Each structure stands twice: as C-alpha cells, then as structure tokens.
C-alpha cells in the first residue's frame, strides 16, 4: 500500500505533506510526494524512517497538475491520496476550478483532505 500526497507551494501543501507522512507511518508504508510547485520540495520535516519518493514536475508546460496526480496514482499503485484544502466561498467554487476539488471528485482511491485551522496561514 502506498500513500500519495499532492504538494502545492502553499501552507495547505505543507500541511498535506505532514499529514501524509504521519499516515504512511501509521500504515507502515511508503510515501510518494507529487511536487506541484516549480521549485524543489523540502522533505526535511519528514521522519527519516519514512521512505519517500518525490515526483518533480518539469515546468509549466508539464501536464495539468490534477491530471498528473491522477495518472501517478495508477502508475505507483497508491491506495490513499492526501491533499490540502482551503476554505472557498460559494462563488469561488462556482466560478473557479481547483486542483483539490478535481482530485476529490475524480480520485479512484480514498482521499484524506487536510484543512488548515483558523489563523494557521
């Protein structure tokens, strides 16, 4: 069983990475981190006992982030997906798509959604 985490360059991404590392440790499995940022992923907060594989994007021309995560789920045989979410207004939900929303709706595996507490950002 593999735990996969989608990690954007945001406070939600940091929270998702921490939660995914804890989930992988709890389940005694490895972690695959899909780096959605266009800079190297900082994995220093992940315990050294957690086996982590980081998948880097090649740049803005690389495929759509949600499509990349969905394809990687199948390729790596992930059994659980961890994502970070933030509060969005009803208008924001109606007008703008989000990677997290697409992953919640289209993921073929269970999704653990991590929400930041008030005042954490």
Residue 83 has pLDDT above 80, yes or no: yes
Residue 95, SS3 per DSSP: helix
Percent of the chain at pLDDT > 90 equals 62
Torsion of CA 102, 105, 110, 112, to 10 degrees: 60
Phi, psi at 20, each rounded to 5°: -65, -40
| CATH class for the domain made up of 2-115 | alpha beta
Mean pLDDT of 21-37: 95
Residue 94 has pLDDT above 60, yes or no: no
Percent of the chain at pLDDT > 70 equals 85
d(CA 43, CA 26): 18
Q: Find how far residue 51's CA is from the centre of its chain.
A: 16
Which residues make beta-bridge pairs with 81?
4, 111
Q: Is the dihedral of CA 100, 106, 107, 109 positive or negative?
A: positive
The whole-number pLDDT of residue 18 equals 95
The whole-number pLDDT of residue 116 equals 77
The whole-number pLDDT of residue 97 equals 58
Confidence of residue 115 (pLDDT cuts 50, 70, 90): confident
Domain boundaries, the chain: 2-115
Which residues make beta-bridge pairs with 2?
30, 78
d(CA 121, CA 109): 28
Which residues make beta-bridge pairs with 82?
5, 112
Residue 61 has pLDDT above 80, yes or no: no
């Amino acid at each position: 069983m593999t735990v996969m985490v989608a990690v954007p360059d945001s406070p939600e991404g940091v929270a998702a990475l921490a939660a995914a590392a804890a989930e992988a440790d709890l389940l005694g499995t490895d972690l695959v981190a899909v780096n959605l940022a266009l800079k190297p992923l900082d994995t220093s907060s992940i315990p050294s006992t957690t086996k982590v594989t980081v998948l880097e994007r090649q740049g803005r021309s690389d495929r759509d982030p949600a499509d990349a995560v969905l394809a990687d789920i199948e390729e790596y045989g992930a059994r659980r997906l961890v994502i970070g979410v933030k509060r969005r207004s009803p208008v924001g939900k109606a007008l703008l798509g989000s990677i997290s929303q697409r992953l919640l709706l289209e993921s073929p595996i269970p999704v653990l959604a991590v929400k930041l507490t008030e005042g954490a950002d």
